[in-house]
Amino acid sequence: MEGGRIRLQSDDGNLELEILEETVVNGVNYILVTDAPEGEDGTCYVMKDISAPEDEEADYVFAEGDEAESVMDVFAKMLEGEDITIER
* Span 62-71, pLDDT tens digits: 999 999 999 9
Q: Where are the alpha helices (DSSP H) in 1-88?
A: 65-78
- The 10 Å Cβ neighbour count of residue 44 is 21
pTM given for the model: 0.83
* Strand-pair category, 44-49 with 28-34: antiparallel
6 pLDDT tier (thresholds 50, 70, 90): confident
* Burial profile 11-34: b = 16 or more Cβ within 10 angstroms, e = fewer: eeeeeebbbbbeeeeeeeebbbbb
Q: Among 11-15, 20-24, 31-35, 52-56, which stretch is predicted with the lowest mean pLDDT?
A: 11-15
